[in-house]
Chain A
Amino acid sequence: MSPLEIDTLIDDPDTRVIVCCGSGGVGKTTTAASIAVRAAERGRATVVLTIDPARRLAQALGLAELGNVPREVSVAGFEPKGSLSAMMLDMRRTFDDMVIAHAGEKRAEEVLANPFYRTISSSFSGTQEYMAMEKLGQLAADGTWDLIVVDTPPSRSALDFLDAPQRLSTALDGRMIKLLTAPARAGGWGIRKVVSAGFGLFAKAVSTIVGGQLLADASAFVQAFDGMFGGFRERARKTYELLRSSGTAFVVVAAPEPDALREASYFVERLAEESMPLAGLVVNRTHPVLAQLPAAKALGAAENLEASGGAPLAAAVLRLHADRVALAQRERRLIARFTKAHPAVSLAHVPALAADVHDLAGLRDIGDQLAGG
């Protein structure tokens, strides 16, 4: 196991995209922002794409309101050698823009007004991931920035970032809708007769349940969307290629908890399968021991003090130290389990901060920790 060389990574002009991924609630967005701030201060023309930043983190980046285009971060005391722009993903607007760009004006209007489109574009699981990819593709094509740092949507599983776009593709590509609305004519599927009969019943059942109107909307949507779909898929394919290129680095973020590290493990394995470049694992919010004093010794002394009834402050200090040693041991055990399974993965530890990050100084601190300081 080697330390994650974050400075080597961000100083390398060939590094064009850094993707921060991991399961929800592990501090991905904060990590992405910290890397971006550090890269800008070390001279890169950087843009950070955040997905759903906590209010105070957004304020730290000067992102008071939601904007779907990058804006230069201008905060007092921030004069980077390079530059930093930041944006928050607006999933619905990104989707709308994509439709408008691909369809003629009249057809775009039709699609945007379709109730089924509204469902897909606002509440389909996978749309956010697809749109994050789309936005990344746009930023890369723009050429204004030489480093793009991407935060990924807060899904339960880190793998969703790679899998969800495929789910959306299946929903949009129209075969299913055709099958449901006109199963008799959906030939060429190689469906055996018995299944075909079953499908007819299934289509009837689905239509009974979801209602004919919804199916009609979906069908109208797919027809209007049909010509655009090729373009959509082509863009998604390009972005996917970008993710596999040597200019991309994945930084997997985890908390020192069993679930988060398990997700990180899955993700690391998946990246290897897809030949996607992994930079390393960031273990966030660790609790390193700050005083070299064995827990057993501390507890023994605390018991002595408590028995004699004196020095309650010192006894408390000894007990909280013993708690901390136990916690640090647990975290080390969990991390060791990960490194045993993935010995080649570089690691960085970021100790827990006393309070949530709310300004640039906080982001800089995290950047220092990431760099091993």
Chain B
Amino acid sequence: MKFTLSWLRAHLDTDASVAAIGEALTRIGLELEGVSDRGATLAPFRIAHVVEAVQHPNADRLRACRVDTGAGIVSVVCGAPNAHTGMKAVFAPPGSFIPGTGITLKTGEIRGVTSAGMLLSAREMGLGDDHSGIIELPADAPVGTPYAAWAGLDDPVIEIAVTPNRGDCFSVRGVARDLAAAGIGTLKPWAPAPVPAAFAAGPRWRIDWPEACPWILGRTIRGLRNGPSPRWLADRLTAIGLRPINALVDVTNLFTVDLGRPLHVFDVAKLSGDTLVLRRGAGETFRALNGKDYAVTAEDCVIADAAGVQSMAGIVGGEATGCDETTTAVFVECACFDPVRVALSGRRHQVVSDARQRFERGIDPALMPDAVEAATRLILELCGGEAGTVTAAGAPPAWQRDATMRFARLAAFGGAEVPADEAVGALERLGFVVRTRDAAQVTVAVPPWRNDVAALGGPALDQDPALDPAVAARAAEGCALAEPECDLIEEVLRLRGLDTIPAVSLPYAAPVPLPTLTDAQARAARARRVLAAQGLAECVTFSFMAAREAAVFGPTPEALRLANPIAADLDQLRPSPVATLALAAAGNAARGLPDLALFEVGPAFASEGQHLVAAGLRAGATPRNWLAPSRPVDAMDAKADLFEALAALAVPMESLSVTADAPGFYHPGQSGVVRQGPKLVLGRFGALHPSVLGAIGLAGAAAAFELFLDAIPTPKRRRRAPPDLPPFQPVRRDFAFLVDAAVPAETVLRAARGAERSLIAGVALFDRYEGGTVPEGKRSLGIEVTFQPRDHTLAEAELEAAAGKVVAAVAKAAGGVLR
């Protein structure tokens, strides 16, 4: 919302500076977006009379001038070819800053002649590129007057952001009213005198859809002459970025901004029939004033004459009945439209207009008769003619209501000790009228322009249907009382300034705060740190991606497709963070950085809901180093990352098993699913499938893992058993078993571990060998078994017996044969 300072002053009697006004606007919630003030830089320049301009005695191209600045005659040397005796010009006194040259003027002497100032060109004032000579003003320009004021350039343009609740401040008068209430100046009275009717003929209204348009006024003015607006009106509109069109249209735009009162003008000669009907659209197409065609639906309120739709009510008028230079009779529309229907229609047709902006926030219904009179008066003044009777349809909507505020609530809710008189005074300055008041509370009538306060017929509560009806009813009853009071408290505090409310630190809920994170949240945080400590870099990637690429990584149900994606490659919620990490790795590879390790703790999306996943991806090769040769990353890297994280989350590692049924984006022969028990899946890992690498454009190796954080059971809080610390040295024996290649290593290890539970403290696989002397379809597994004696040093025979149990157990469970 833009307006000029002079426009504001048409409603507000104030001598406050623009800075003070801007500060107040921001404080009371009408945030200052900016001020453009050309006048400030032009302030030192005044209109002067060149009394005499003669050839400089010592310079061919200069003139010696005697200049009347209004404050005396001074000598000025001027180089402009057009400087001549008797002209009116713009004078810059010594000490003034010249915007066009960046120089601050000093009194000087030029070739023996004193020069105490400067006569300015347009370019020197920063007003354009003309530097062919100094500016010559009309003969009647008043000497001594500031040039900017005379030229109308000293009117700063103020722009504010109006919040959606303050439709009343989409008007200069509304802003003036708020400023006056905040102590900046006094609101000027505004009461247009009625214009008597000279005739009764003209179009009539008929409302067929009263819910969309409860009340509408109109008035015909005939015998007028339309043409360009006078300069004051054109200047006002130009200053705020509106293009002057013709007087009739400009009048409607003026009132839209001045009073927040959108008007529309129909050219009477272009209307068909004598009745304008407010009704639902019926699929017709009409061409609007913006040159576009709109097909109106039954949900759009339109204004139609005998020929069809001529306007989309409250949003945009029609081209066919618009006013131009040939218009001699006009029908002025001043309506009250339903804000919700205007908002929905405007959104449906994607029309943003000054009228829609105001109607959808709600206009002041009580202002309508006065607005018609004021518009009529201005049209007669600008275009001549005579006015007919005011024609109406429908009835004024009931806007009258009261609101009550208990003074104690200003402190108990608002945190501010505000004297009752100050609170009531603030409300009165905003236009609220006191109905009753006692020591404890005040009841006020809400002014018609404040549809945000104690909103009438606003949206009903939208309570959770699962609530206990009694609870819901009590809450609704409390809301009905609390809401208007909150509205009034807000007004009082807003005008006072929220900075005046003392800040109070939150009282302790407990002397030592309780844990901030739940166990699950703490696990996610720990997984993040452990993975980062493993050398993976944490990423935050988008939750959505291209459906085609997402499909590579899992199901992409329709229900997780965006209806309005911002780009075609961001239209599907990802089935796994591995998908977006793979894209991130491909992006880095494209930048020449193919070797990296990334992870993310974020959501994966599925039809049944989202779950939190700690996912990681290693790509390319390990670093080249003279001590450790580089090698491609592989599934075991991913498994190590996953198991490190699982261990850090206090998962009982000995209870985990790995099955070879990972989903298809993993390499079918180099991947696994990590399970706790038969059903609970905690994670997956593996090399990425070669076709996946191809699909995302990743050239090197890549291995990924997923840790399903939501599946990790919360460990039971148990006191730990005392540690097992036998005093006898452990004995280690190596075994090499020949087993079928298909037998999982885990089977061998588990069998060996369980062969003699009281004695065997650990089993580790140290070798795996295929080919060579090992028969086809077999492999050799080398395991180291640690025997831990508990009460005596083991005799060789005992050790042999235990070793025999290991061999027997592996033979039984895995068909292993000692090599």
Asked if A pairs with B, the answer is no
Mark A residues whose CB is within 8 Å of B: none
